Amino acid sequence: MADTAKPKGGGTAKSSGGRRQNRKNDSPDLADESPKDLLDHYRRMLLVRRFEERTGQAYTQARIGGYCHLNLGEEATVIGLTSVLDERDYLFTNYREHGYAIAKGMSPRGVMAELYGRTTGVSRGWGGSMHMFDTETRLLGGYGIVGGQLPLATGAALAVTYRGGDEVVMCQMGDGTTNIGAWHESLNIASLWNLPIVYVVVNNFTGMGTTVEMASAEPDLYKRGSAFRIEGHRVDGRDVLAVRDAASGLVERARSEQRPFLLEAYSYRMKGHSVVDPAKYRTKEQAEEARDKANDPVAIFEERLLNAGVLTEDTKKEISDAVREEVADAADFAENSPHPDVSTLFDYTYATPVANESKRMPSEPVFAE
């Protein structure tokens, strides 16, 4: 086990809500990086940022229904993690997954259309914000039940092993998930059966309004694989390159060593738990930290790229304009896509058609005249 990004104060249980100081010192040197890749990371992070801002806006305008959880503040984690997955690798996530959907390869159009509940949505309008899914890009679901994706992802890794494949499964979750039974049962099974899976805990220090310290007797979450002999690492989730490197190492080791790993990436949730949550439970300090530019992964990376001369004001504007256009296009596409027809209501109850399946509408009697 190694703490690859040990926060100041050692991340003790009593540290102020697990807050970490900004640290850029461990991040890979930009001089060793391909400028093209750096700009691509930046563009993708910005795309998630703008997409989520637009999503929040559309939600407050009642264009989007249900619950709506945004990746704002987690862009570096989203892009860092997904950048190391091959097309053939599988990703399972929780309900805060719009960014992951786009980053794994779904089109912003399809993701926004799903949010709008249209037929062109990635889940044909059946899933909504929490349930993005795409067989082709192998994001096998956002899941709304905390911990629900863990056994499923573990089973996907079992299927890979069963068939002798070399795919890796990545299973993303929030910090609160580490206390649910499915966590313990899944990690135990994955370790016993040597499954190629990387569990990633995105620690934003708060499960809804409950802090990690309130909920977890061992708040150093990366250590919590030790009961299952699963090696755990922690990384600064505000730093896209640090996340990329940490994840890349573990994904490749899961592939070559055929065993599970655990990665904790910490970053700040810039807004409330969901769009409608004003986060009044945050102390003044916590609210300031969440808003602090020094904790904003997009601002951090942008500043680094500008300082290193990788990004110029001109390219910055170019990228920003292109991203805004892509997001606007996604929203237009969603807005102009058809709503599902009521005649399709019974299309997806069963994959194998079955005798006597009920197709009764609410007002109809069980036996028609």
Partner 1 sequence: MSVITYRQALRDTLRAEMLRDEDVFLIGEEIGVFEGSYKITEGLLKEFGERRVRDTPIAEEGFVGTAIGAAMLGLRPVVEVMTINFSLLAIDQIVNHAAKVYGMFGGQTSVPMVIRTPGGGGQQLGATHSQNIELFYSFIPGLKVLAPSGPADAAAMLRAAIRDNDPVLLLENLGLYNSKGEVPEDDEPVAEIGRAAVSREGSDITLIGYSRMASVATQVAQSLAEEDISVEVIDLRSLRPLDRETIVESVCKTGSAVIAEDDWLTYGIGAEIAATIQEGAFDFLDAPVRRVAMAEVPLPYAKPLESAALPSAESVTTAVKETLNAVGRRVG
CB of 233 vs partner 1, minimal distance in Å: 23
Name the minimum Å distance from CB 228 to partner 1: 11
Site string for partner 1, 339-368 (x = CB under 8 A): --------xxxxxx-xxxxx------xxx-
Binding to partner 1 in span 249-288, by CB under 8 A: none
Which one, 93 or 204, has the nearer CB to partner 1? 93
Work out the angle at residue 148's Cα, subtended by the Cα atoms of residues 346 and 182, and round it to the nearest 5 degrees: 145
Site string for partner 1, 177-216 (x = CB under 8 A): ----xx-xxx-xx--xx-----------------------
Please answer whether residues 269 and 72 qualify as being in contact, where contact means their C-beta atoms are separated by less than 8 angstroms: yes
Q: Considering only residues 140 through 179, tell me which ones interact with partner 1, judged by CB under 8 A.
A: 140-141, 143, 145, 148, 150-160, 162
Q: Give min distance, CB of 338 to partner 1, in A.
A: 14
Pairing mode, if any, of strands 206-207 and 90-93?
unpaired
- Per rule CB under 8 A, count of chain residues that contact partner 1: 51
Angstrom distances, CA of residue 52 to CA of 132, 159, 198, 310, 324: 14, 33, 26, 25, 12
Q: Considering only CA atoms, which of 59, 103, 64 is closest in space to residue 85?
A: 103
Answer for the pair 329, 105: CB distance below 8 angstroms, yes or no: no
> Using CA atoms, how far apart are residues 293 and 80, in angstroms rounded to an integer?
19
Candidate segments 12-20, 52-60, 67-75, 127-135, binder of partner 1 by CB under 8 A: 127-135
At 198, phi and psi to the nearest 5? -115, 115
Report the alpha-carbon distance of residue 288 to residue 293 in Å, rounded: 10
Could you list the residues that contact partner 1 (CB under 8 A)? 121-127, 131, 133-135, 140-141, 143, 145, 148, 150-160, 162, 181-182, 184-186, 188-189, 192-193, 347-352, 354-358, 365-367
